[in-house]
């Protein structure tokens, strides 16, 4: 039952994720590059949402319609790995420190997990 409790838990996790990312930016000598992780993970569910509208999955005659869906999934995988690779890149070049990298990766994963599970819990039934 996806009710009020789920919303409260999810918003808590979202807040913790944002807190971790902002702390990772602010604690270790304020530089705000780790906030890019949040942008990446907020963008990550978008390609699937857009591309599933573009494609018509019940259209069996045109077999090429799943190209949009595949492209959306490809972009999603790209963005999720980007969210993890970006802090590692910044830490490797010495722009941010290693603890900031760890905190921003964990925070970004929490934000993305919240967005994905929100979509799973409150998915509307498709009407055909």
Partner 1 sequence: MTTSRLWRFPMPKLPSNPVLRTAGVYTAGALFALGFWFFIDASVYSKVANRSDVHVKFVDWIPLICSILGMLVINSIEKSRLSADSFSYSGGGVAWKARLVLFTGFALMAGGLSGSITVLVLKYVVPGYPWPTLYFGVANVVGNAAIMLSCIVLWVSQNIEEDYTYNLSL
Contact 110, 20 (CB under 8 A): yes
Q: Which is nearer to partner 1, 38 or 80 (CB)?
A: 80
Q: Which is nearer to partner 1, 16 or 46 (CB)?
A: 46
Q: Please give the Cα distance from 59 to 17 (Å, whole number).
A: 40
Contact 114, 47 (CB under 8 A): no
By CB under 8 A, name the one of 20, 55, 80, 105 that touches partner 1: 80
Per-residue contact flags (x/-) with partner 1 for residues 26 to 45, judged by CB under 8 A = --------------------
Beta strands, E only, 13-112: none
Which residue stretch of 2-10, 22-30, 76-84, 108-116 sits at the interface with partner 1 (rule: CB under 8 A)? 76-84
């Amino acid at each position: 039952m996806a009710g009020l409790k789920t919303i409260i838990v999810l918003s808590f996790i979202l807040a913790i994720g944002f807190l971790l990312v902002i702390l990772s930016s602010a604690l270790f000598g304020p530089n705000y590059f780790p906030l890019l992780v949040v942008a990446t993970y907020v963008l990550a569910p978008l390609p699937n949402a857009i591309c599933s509208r573009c494609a018509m999955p019940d259209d069996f005659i045109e077999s090429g319609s799943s190209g949009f869906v595949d492209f959306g999934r490809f972009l999603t995988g790209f963005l999720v790995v980007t969210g993890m690779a970006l802090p590692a890149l910044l830490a490797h070049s010495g722009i941010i420190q290693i603890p900031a990298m760890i905190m921003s990766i964990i925070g970004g994963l929490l934000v993305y997990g919240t967005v994905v599970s929100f979509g799973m819990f409150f998915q509307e039934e498709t009407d055909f």
